[in-house]
Amino acid sequence: MYNVIRMAYKALYRTYRPTTFDEVVGQEHIVRTLKNALKENKIAHAYLFAGPRGTGKTTMAKLLAKALNCEEGIGQQCNKCSNCQAINEVSHPDVIEIDAASNNGVDEVRDLIDRVRYLPIKGRYKVYIIDEVHMMTSGAFNALLRTLEEPPSHVIFILATTEPHKILPTILSRCQRYDFAKVSDKDIKKRLTYVLEQEQVSYEEEAIDMIISLADGGMRDALSILDQLLAYSGHSLTSKDVLDVFALTSKEEKLRLVDFIMHGDVGETLKMFREFVEHGNDIRKLLSDLLDIIKDIYTYRVVGDPSLLLVLTEKEALKFENLANEEELLTMSSTLLDAQSEMKNVANARSLLEISLLKLTNLKHKYPQKPSELEDEFVVVKKEVEEVKPVEKVKPIVQEVKVEPKVEEEKPLIKEEETTSEPMHLFNEDEIIEDTNNFEPEESYHIGEEMIINAMIKGDKELKKKIISLWDELNKYLSSPTLGKYASLLKDARPYIATKELLFLEYDLDLIANRVNLKNNQKTISNLIQKISGRQFFVYALTRAETIAYVKKFRDLSQLGKLKKADEVTLDLKEIK
């Protein structure tokens, strides 16, 4: 009798984990910077990889470790030599992965420091990858500080975190920081399609789109979701499989719910919502989807351009054309956003969303008609799309909205023929110096230390969170011939402080921050921020070095008891020169 040894199943996100920099999905700016640094032998002693979960931080750390130790030379990733293979198999003696969530104390860090002084056993460098580093205690950080500041030449630290704001500034200032963005829908779709083809699985495009929506910018999450679905469905993937496995609601059902809401029909709205809950639908996902739908309805009503729609078709958007005005749609969006931010702090998420839906139905005027009966295809509209004349449709909408003069009509700082439709995702110093030749010398705004400290006191964390959640809306303007360069400038920023009047942004490079602060750029940048957030701010850029200095000043004043109280602080924009 023979014992049958079965090979352990390997999850898709591990099977298709990138083995070279060229295989990485998204994060092109980080890949390019690391490859150039390795090529020029400009290797830092400490790196910080920060960003949402599942965006490739640990994978990138392992790829960097491989590039440092490959036997074919620094920067190579042959995946054939003993060093590369050992790193792939997570068995390399010089690449040490530490989970700070469970090894976050002073004793663990002191043990690490004791081992740091020993030379590498197999490779050129000892690479310490510390995951979830924000979980370390203050004592552990302080114990690590000295070693992180002046480590032996053969040691490199790579710190990974989803919450960089929890890391001590003294640690941050000693690391090269790389911010990982959520992976774009386009890149996730391309990777999922490749995996499905390799696994010889037939699929529906709509099913992939649903997975992308569930993944929320995380490549690892997308592959884990796909793994679960293939275990359920076998060698085919349909949208029905996604709906069944994850207890989701079809778009047609969600549109029907929105139809009831916009007619102010409380009874049908509650009845349909409770049916969703009884079928096990994810309440947070339903809330997010309703927000996307209302946002699309608003976009189409104001702009009339179907290419800007994210989740709706033009026929679906037309269905709601006359059911709500712009003010009502914005109020609905704001109500849902508030519910989304409160969701994490309440014990009963169902009641929270139910109350929010009641608020939405209460917003509506009393319509004499009942919601129309929707067919399975949800394509019953007053007129077919092809019968609607674009000029007759767009013109009255623009007149009715009475928007401010369009930013696009302002004279751009760069000549029209010199602009490009390609968005600039990465600024390196050479590109910036060349590009500044297109900018005429201009005066810059300057905000003094006292006002910045006062803004830190008055800062509204919830408002800042809302702005951060809307930051990816800038992607829509990257290809604009007039707004593209401004959107690119803003995309490289991190919203730092938000008050009623001011929005401070943080930049890693001085040259980019200086460009944002040019007086001639303020109006366009402010209007662009208003386009994505619905609020008017004076926008001011700070460098990373400046924010670290202001945080230190803020803490010093706090310890001395010299900080003003929030109600004692006033922010007068007239003081900005």
CATH of the domain at 160: 3.40.50.300
**Phi and psi for 287 in degrees, rounded to 5?**
-60, -45
pLDDT value for 368:
38
pTM above 0.85, yes or no: no
What is d(CA 502, CA 499) in angstroms, rounded to the nearest whole number? 5
Query: Residue 345 falls within a domain, yes or no?
Result: yes
Query: Residue 437 falls within a domain, yes or no?
Result: no
What is d(CA 105, CA 372) in angstroms, rounded to the nearest whole number? 62
Assess whether pLDDT exceeds 90 at residue 35.
yes
Query: Residue 434 falls within a domain, yes or no?
Result: no
The pLDDT mean for the chain works out to: 80
Instruction: Give 551's pLDDT tier (boundaries 50, 70, 90).
Output: confident
Range with the poorest average pLDDT among 64-68, 87-91, 322-326: 322-326
The answer to whether 46 and 1 are in contact (CB under 8 A) is no
Of 159, 179, 199, which one is at a domain's C-terminal end? Answer: 179
Query: Residue 428 falls within a domain, yes or no?
Result: no
CATH number of the domain where residue 394 is located: 1.20.272.10
Of 198, 230, 245, which one is at a domain's C-terminal end? Answer: 245
Of 398, 433, 462, which one is at a domain's C-terminal end? Answer: 398
State pLDDT tens for residues 15-25. 888 999 998 98
Please check whether residues 33 and 166 belong to one and the same domain: yes
Please check whether residues 153 and 235 belong to one and the same domain: no
Please check whether residues 258 and 235 belong to one and the same domain: no
Query: Residue 425 falls within a domain, yes or no?
Result: no
CATH number of the domain where residue 232 is located: 1.10.8.60
Please check whether residues 161 and 220 belong to one and the same domain: no
Please check whether residues 339 and 468 belong to one and the same domain: no
pLDDT value for 31:
93
Please check whether residues 46 and 174 belong to one and the same domain: yes
Query: Residue 380 falls within a domain, yes or no?
Result: yes
What is d(CA 341, CA 462) in angstroms, rounded to the nearest whole number? 8
Please check whether residues 292 and 236 belong to one and the same domain: no
Domain count, the chain: 4
State pLDDT tens for residues 396-419. 434 444 444 444 444 443 333 333
What is d(CA 236, CA 14) in angstroms, rounded to the nearest whole number? 21
The residue-averaged pLDDT of 145-171 equals: 87
The secondary structure of residue 355, as a DSSP letter, is H
Assess whether pLDDT exceeds 50 at residue 366.
no
pLDDT value for 391:
41
What residue spans of 440-518 are helical by DSSP H?
449-458, 461-470, 484-491, 510-516
Assess whether pLDDT exceeds 70 at residue 528.
yes
pLDDT value for 37:
93
Please check whether residues 222 and 266 belong to one and the same domain: no
Alpha carbon 176 to its chain's center: 20
The residue-averaged pLDDT of 121-148 equals: 87
CATH number of the domain where residue 527 is located: 3.30.300.180
Please check whether residues 205 and 222 belong to one and the same domain: yes
Query: Residue 413 falls within a domain, yes or no?
Result: no
Higher per-residue confidence, 233 vs 32 = 32
Residue matched to tokens 């370390």: 136
Please check whether residues 136 and 49 belong to one and the same domain: yes
Residue matched to tokens 């500080």: 145
Residue 295 is part of which domain span?
251-398
The residue-averaged pLDDT of 359-374 equals: 56
State pLDDT tens for residues 423-460. 333 333 333 333 434 444 568 888 888 888 888 888 88
Please check whether residues 276 and 383 belong to one and the same domain: yes
Please check whether residues 212 and 328 belong to one and the same domain: no
Query: Residue 113 falls within a domain, yes or no?
Result: yes
**Phi and psi for 210 in degrees, rounded to 5?**
-65, -40
